[in-house]
Structure 1
Amino acid sequence: MTTFDPARLESELRTAENQRLSAMLAGDLATLESLLEPELQYTHSTGRVDDRDSLLEPLGSGATKYLALKHDFNSVTQQGSVAVVEGTMKMHLISGGVEKYLETVNRTVWANTDGQWKLRLFIGAKAE
């Protein structure tokens, strides 16, 4: 029986999230695709919902370019092979030719599939 180690879990999820953010900044679609579940549901702070393909498309086409990303974790919980992270994110990006600075509160759900954490769900809301 494996003993639950919250520090290890948070470290693993921070590593996966840092890889995801680095790939978003670099426009590295192959790495991003490997970190996102095929069934991904990504709810933006505007309410728009993307699946994995529709999330990756504007990065691949250049319609969206991330300039800076920072994701702070507030809490991490785990149930079996699923972990939930609550946190805040700051973003600087250009989308549709418009430069934006956004701050969101968010909840992410990560699934551990074959020993790799993959993002399954992202829900963002504008920070107050």
Structure 2
Amino acid sequence: MKKIILALLLMSSSIVYAQTKDEQNLVAAVDKLKNAMISGERTALEEVAATNLSYGHSGGKVEDKAAFVESIASGKSDFVTIDLKNQTIKVTGKTAIVRHELHATTNDGGKAGEVHLGIMLVWQKEGKDWKLLARQAYKLPY
């Protein structure tokens, strides 16, 4: 039994180390975006978003960087919790696509709610940092 547990631990740790440096940095960037969306901190939102951000909602509304930041920083769109599942990352040069499921509790306009969405994020490397260039959400079929 100890050998099986040790083998599983070694396999899981090799998966973590199998990530490239860019993939590790993207995981950190996605986490930074998630935390900024929960906190609503304007500076953190501005730092993670690219200048030419195109932020698409599941209902079809598309916002630029200024509108995205204002919506979250003002509390109009208020994420209380965000849980990301089934995340995948594909890096091609200075561009990356991150997909995941977003399960969140919200408090938009003082009204509690829940969202369950599929998300596609497009990231662009600017210097050493990954910036969110585009986001498109879609409703999950359940």
What TM-score, normalized to structure 1? 0.88
Structure 2 counterpart SS, 1:77: strand
How far apart, CA to CA, are the structure 2 residues paired with 1:84 and 1:96?
31
How far apart, CA to CA, are the structure 2 residues paired with 1:26 and 1:74?
22
Q: Which residue of 1 aligns with 2:62?
A: 49
Unaligned runs of 5+ in 1: none
Q: Which residue of 2 aligns with 1:59?
A: 72
Aligned partner letter, 2:118 = V
- Give the strand-richer structure, 1 or 2: 1
Match runs of 1:9-28 below 5 Å: 9-28=22-41
| Kept in 2: contact 1:91–1:101 (CA 8 A) | yes
Q: Which residue of 1 aligns with 2:98?
A: 85
Deviation track 1:65-103 (CA, whole Å, cap 9, x = no partner) reads: 210012234321111100011111111111133222011
Paired residues, number: 124
Q: Point out 4+ residue stretches in structure 1 off by more than 3 angstroms.
A: none
Identical aligned residues as a percent: 23
Unaligned runs of 5+ in 2: 1-17
Moved more, 21-30 or 118-127: 21-30
Choose which of 107, 116, 121 in structure 1 pairs with 2:129: 116
Q: Which residue of 1 aligns with 2:21?
A: 8
Deviation track 1:30-88 (CA, whole Å, cap 9, x = no partner) reads: 01101100100011111111111111112222222210012234321111100011111
- Give the helix-richer structure, 1 or 2: 2
- Which of the two has higher C-alpha Rg? 2
Structure 1 counterpart SS, 2:29: helix
Q: Which residue of 2 aligns with 1:33?
A: 46
